[in-house]
Structure 1
């Protein structure tokens, strides 16, 4: 019995040590600025980094001279099927989390396990907005056309496609009347979360970002004045 208790104690201590190391590493690395490449061209495009308190999205103009997101993510795929939107929020994450966990109270152990260990599929979530307002969880940032094209390329490369078209996830789990889900590449895990995806996009575009981030707070710390 003593041997069993000893083994259980070692396992518990190992898990506790891992959790502490993970939290410390994430906190430190997410707040250390990643190297930023030199910006080419004038910063004429305003984008936003937005969080809902847990998950981050990139919020971009629906249409400019470099990209028309409504062509890639048609309005008809949203519940409202409306128009007149000025911005689109784009995020990546575990499909199970997106579709089965609209609120934290709905989280199942099986969903969390699959997501934590990279066993599930991923999805891109898009939300159309008629206006965006800055607050403590949403920050504007000016970028150049070159940086914007880097963001576009990063998002497009994250999508699964069928004959060059984004694949709509058919579901009734939309969060509102102006959003939709699309099949994506990659797998969510405790080391590569929805926020890691956002952080990697920011790094690719030469925007403020941390070395590595899995939580939203480290990303937002680079934008708070």
Structure 2
């Protein structure tokens, strides 16, 4: 009997997982050209949640509504997550269990970042990567596909969690195997970063990003940073 129960639960899990709508990836993975990395992006871990910080001049090319909302800040942080859990003022066990075990609606969280991410988020883990313009464009196409649109406009909901920030309706369902960190990993994967798009936890994402950065994380706050990112703007 126990064997049948386990099998039934496994089948149910597979059905729910395959029914979980995700932001579509490109059919052909982007492969960056060596020596073309000139744009700096940041990956931020706020503990359980990760996000991607990109230059706003590129982000607003794909999402012009954000320039109207945030103005000419140098960077924007993007995160994706469960609508109820992410926006809740008070986190309950019920919200956490619902987000984990049942596909739920998602939201995008966008934050104006007025300076370099490691300075703006001093209590968060930050890893910087240099990518090419083409890689950044590929990633931003994925990010742009993550937003729900109403008559070609973004669909804002409530104010964000910190700083100058905003929630927007998002594409996809949040689920145990489709988390905020899976979204971050997929976005980086779309930019040609050597990372699995199936990572579930913030720590796994940050380890993979640090490996991809080839040691640049260790000099992020050192005098050697200027040399490492000399060609990276």
TM normalised by structure 2 equals: 0.70
Given that 1:139 and 1:223 are in contact with CA atoms closer than 8 Å, whether structure 2 keeps it comes out as yes
The alignment covers a number of residue pairs equal to 184
Inter-CA distance 84–158: structure 2 relative to 1 (3 Å threshold): closer
Deviation at 1:163, TM superposition (A): 1.2
Given that 2:56 and 2:72 are in contact with CA atoms closer than 8 Å, whether structure 1 keeps it comes out as no
Structure 1: give runs of 5+ residues left out of the alignment: 1-6, 19-35
Given that 1:124 and 1:183 are in contact with CA atoms closer than 8 Å, whether structure 2 keeps it comes out as yes
The partner residue of 2:49 within 28, 40, 55 is 55
Are 1:222 and 2:208 matched, yes or no? yes
Deviation at 1:110, TM superposition (A): 2.1
User: What are the Cα deviations for residues 176-207 of structure 1, in whole angstroms up to 9, with x where unaligned?
Assistant: 34100000011111111000011111111111
Deviation at 1:75, TM superposition (A): 5.1
Given that 2:60 and 2:67 are in contact with CA atoms closer than 8 Å, whether structure 1 keeps it comes out as no
The partner residue of 2:94 within 110, 118, 125 is 110
Counterpart of 2:106 in structure 1 is: 122
Counterpart of 1:38 in structure 2 is: 31
Counterpart of 1:140 in structure 2 is: 128
SS at 1:121's partner residue? strand
SS at 1:53's partner residue? coil
Are 1:190 and 2:176 matched, yes or no? yes
Inter-CA distance 145–194: structure 2 relative to 1 (3 Å threshold): same
Deviation at 1:70, TM superposition (A): 6.9
SS at 2:183's partner residue? helix
The partner residue of 1:98 within 63, 70, 86 is 86
User: What are the Cα deviations for residues 107-146 of structure 1, in whole angstroms up to 9, with x where unaligned?
Assistant: 2122122211233210000001111243771111111111
Give distance in 2, aligned partners of 1:223 and 1:202: 9
Inter-CA distance 122–211: structure 2 relative to 1 (3 Å threshold): closer
Give distance in 2, aligned partners of 1:69 and 1:129: 18
Deviation at 1:37, TM superposition (A): 5.3
TM normalised by structure 1 equals: 0.72
User: What are the Cα deviations for residues 12-52 of structure 1, in whole angstroms up to 9, with x where unaligned?
Assistant: xx6xxx9xxxxxxxxxxxxxxxxx85313711111111110
